[in-house]
Amino acid sequence: MPRHRRFPFRTLLLSALILVLSVGLIAFSVYLLGLDREIRGRFAGVRWALPAQVYASPLELYAGLNLRETDLVHELGRLGYREDPHLSGTGTYQPTRGRIDIHVRPFQFWDGVQAEQTLAVSFDGGVIAAIQRVDRAESPEIVRLDPMLIGSIYPSHGEDRVLLRLSEVPALLPAGLVAVEDRHFRSHMGVSLRAILRASLANLRAGHVVQGGSTITQQLIKNFFLTSRQTWRRKADEALMALLLERHYSKDEILEAYLNEVHLGQDGNRAVHGFGLGAQFYFNKPVAELQPHEIALMVGLVKGTSFYNPRRHPDRVKERRDLVLAVFRDEGLIDEPTYQQALAAPLGVDAGRIGGAERYPGFVDLVKRQLRGQYHDEDLTDEGLRIFTTLNPRAQEALERNIVETLPELEKTRKLKPGTLEGAGVVTSAEGGEVLALVGGRDVRYAGYNRALDAQRPIGSLVKPFVYLTALERPGEFGLSTILPDEPIELRMPHGQLWSPNNYDKELHGPQPLFRALAQSLNLPTVHIGLQVGAEHVLRTLRRAGYDGDAQPLPSMFLGAVGIAPLKVAQMYATLAAGGFQAPLSAIREVQTKDGEPLTRFPIQVKQTLPDGPVYLVDWALRQVVAQGTGRGVYSTLPPDVVVAGKTGTTDDYRDSWFAGFSADHVAVVWVGRDDNQPTGLSGSSGALPIWARVMRDLNVQSFDPIEPGSVETVLVDIQSGLRADENCVDAVSVPYLRGWAPADWAPCANGPVNPLEWLRNIFG
């Protein structure tokens, strides 16, 4: 009976228990399935948002290139090549007298792969004499070095990485990582009870957490979900996910994911993830070229990137690195000589630059803006695009150095408060519209206000060439020797006030030939000419040169009361440099997918927007600016035989100091002023000019030597009268005119038409 009575109760209990268990099991299974879906989705789906990688233009090596041995060594250093007499791997070089041997890295360029190769580059007095392959009989005519990685476009949450495949990684890296972080990685199922027990024991003994029992799989999951909360629930989830992950993926897949996922450092708000970017960030080279001591350092970093920040705590990191090296040796991963060698090696962390790939924020800013029209933000931050830019690191260095060094000099000589001057500059190619260098402020590493793109400061006299160009397009009215009045002008403005411009020196100079008025940057003749051709037409010329702002056609424009950013000024002067052919400025050449498939090209585009003849005349006058006008100062820096053309610009009360000009191969624009728009006391000649001249000197520019168009003829002219001259005239100059419009009448100083026989007598008499 009692049994009979107890039976329903026990059955009930059992049933309930089974029910609860079943429900629990189902719930748990559902939960597991959820975790499974989550982890698989994370792992297999869009595994990583891959920031676009931004590359500088590659250095092309070919016989005849103006490049000194020291320049090439400098370039190789910048690319993270190291000196190695055996050229044992890619990214090594060996200089000997008159020759540099280089083991060039392979690289997937836009137009194909350039395989790794060993080259002998021989020099002859500052020029590359020959390039030969050491490892093969035939030699290439032209070889590209791999381009420098100059930045990446990472999303707002700041995760940046360079994707790696396990096969590209030196074997020591994964092996060493396993040895240090998770010795039983190859055998456990995702969770290691042994490790947990060992860690618990150690922690108990110490009284606090000294050791983690997490496997590499668990660490990967922890990294995936970006949380370091040490709750039991989180830990249980991690363990479960680790078990699930191991069921779906191979050990190598998990290890590869770990190599790409692990957090290795912080650079401002940019998080450095993965060993690919880590190698760039700390050692400025691809992961394949890491040496044992460098691998050990990075493996050691995994334990804690801020505690073991190699740039901040080098001693602490050295200790950790050596400990890791000892593990490598004990595990038989490296032999004793290698171990000893690695111990003796310095840390080798690239200290010259904070934030490895964030070197040229001003330029990368321009790249982003140019891409914004064509790509969605997510394309740029997630798809791992490879962006090949026009940046020329040598030009960029020259521009940065001369702005950074000259501004304090100016402050000192002008007794200005240190740090008050700001500067910006742009260097472009003379033909083809490539932006080679860009500086947005004197703090060149600061990714903030980009003055080269955004500071629309009045351009002052930089506008004058366009006023004169407008005039020279009317050959019946104006030629370079046309005599202009230098007289006071008063104008009633639309608002009723009187405008009475002055020359900068507040003096009157008497009638001047047109080209000299430009060379001396006289205001009154310019206003005179501007009024004659009309502000509408001047504005139209500015637009044809590349200006795209919304300035009003007012007379004040003739003296440069138009705010234009340095980059746009460079665009306008580049049109003058290229004989009237405008090439829209571009910072990008090509875009590739992450797998190296060509995606977009930004081809050279040209269009003749200004007529060749008048542009030739203005360019001639701009050479006079530098030869004898307000730009003379450039020859205290540039060699006298280098011909350049340019223009100074100064605004009211010396608030803005500009210089813009070009050689045969480069256009450069420099602005100096203050952010609060206060006067600096600097004119175009005293502020921006010295920077410009130094940049052009360092670029080793080619003389400006335009081709005279068929529409132009050159004749000898007497400067006093603006009429034809002959050998009797003292003040005679060869001046170009539009064909058929040269002065026909002879100057008083000339004898006029002479009997040829008498003339012969003169010569031989």
Q: Which residues form the catalytic set?
A: 181, 461
How many residues bind another protein (CB under 8 A)? The answer is 69
Cα–Cα distance between 622 and 616 in angstroms, integer?
10
- For the segment 246-275, give every residue that binds another protein (CB under 8 A): none
Nearer Cβ to another protein (489/627)? 627
Selected from 34, 448, 511, 752, the binder of another protein by CB under 8 A is: 752
CB atoms near residue 230 (< 10 Å)? 9
Contact region with another protein (CB under 8 A), list: 254-262, 443-451, 481-489, 751-759: 751-759
Asked if residue 724 binds another protein (CB under 8 A), the reply is yes
Q: Of 77, 348, 432, 596, which lies in the binding site for another protein, with binding defined by CB under 8 A?
A: 432
Report the 10 Å Cβ neighbour count for 189.
12
420, 608, 637, 677: which one binds another protein (CB under 8 A)? 608
Confirm or reject binding of residue 756 to another protein (CB under 8 A).
yes
CA nearest to 571, candidates 560, 581, 586, 585: 585
Map residues 486-505 to x or -, x wherever contact with another protein holds by CB under 8 A.
Answer: --------------------
136 forms part of the interface with another protein (CB under 8 A): no
Q: What are phi and psi of 162, to 5 degrees?
A: -120, 115
Is 589 an interacting residue with respect to another protein (CB under 8 A)?
A: yes
Among 736, 737, 747, 749, the residue binding another protein under the rule CB under 8 A is 736
| Cα dihedral 95→97→98→101 (10° resolution) | -30
Residue 129 binds to another protein (criterion: CB under 8 A): no
When asked if residue 306 is in the footprint of another protein (CB under 8 A), the reply is no
Burial of 229 (C-beta count, 10 Å sphere; 0-12/13-18/19+): exposed
710 binds another protein (CB under 8 A): yes
DSSP secondary structure, 366-408, as one string: HHHHHHHTTS-HHHHHHB--EEEE---HHHHHHHHHHHHHHHH
Indicate which single residue of 227, 374, 552, 734 sits in contact with another protein (rule: CB under 8 A).
734
Of 526 and 624, nearer to another protein (C-beta) is 624
The verdict on 610 binding another protein (CB under 8 A) reads yes
Q: Does 708 bind another protein (CB under 8 A)?
A: yes
Assess contact for 670 and 694: CB atoms under 8 A.
Answer: no
Establish if 623 lies at the interface with another protein (CB under 8 A): yes
Q: Is the dihedral of CA 519, 523, 524, 529 positive or negative?
A: positive
By CB under 8 A, tell whether 607 contacts another protein. Answer: yes
Q: Which residue of 598, 652, 653, 679 would you call a contact of another protein, by CB under 8 A? A: 598
Q: How far apart are CA 184 and CA 197, in angstroms?
A: 14
141 φψ region: left (φ > 0), alpha (ψ -120 to 50), beta (else): alpha
Q: Which stretch binds another protein (CB under 8 A): 4-12, 293-301, 423-431, 524-532?
A: 423-431
Residue 194 sits at φ, ψ, to 5 deg, of -55, -45
The dihedral built from the CA positions of residue 585, 590, 593 and 595, taken in this order, carries a sign that is negative
**Using an 8 Å Cβ cutoff, are 223 and 131 in contact?**
no
Tokens of 747: 């100057």
Q: Residue 464 or residue 623: which is nearer to another protein going by CB?
A: 623
Should residue 714 be labelled a site residue for another protein when binding is judged by CB under 8 A? yes
DSSP state of 249: S
Q: What tokens were used for 735?
A: 């001046």
Q: How far is the CB of 603 from another protein (least distance, A)?
A: 6
Question: Does residue 110 bind another protein (CB under 8 A)?
Answer: yes
Candidates 430, 462, 559, 574: give the one binding another protein (CB under 8 A): 430
Contact 566, 455 (CB under 8 A): yes
Structure tokens at 173: 């890296």
Nearer to another protein (CB atom), residue 388 or residue 658:
388
Among residues 700, 577, 573, 570, which one has the least CA distance to residue 642? 700
Interface residues with another protein (CB under 8 A) are 60, 62-65, 110-111, 140-142, 429-432, 434, 544, 579, 581, 589-590, 598, 601, 603-612, 623-624, 627-628, 643, 664-665, 707-711, 714, 716, 724, 726-727, 730-734, 736, 739, 744-746, 752-754, 756, 759-760, 762-765
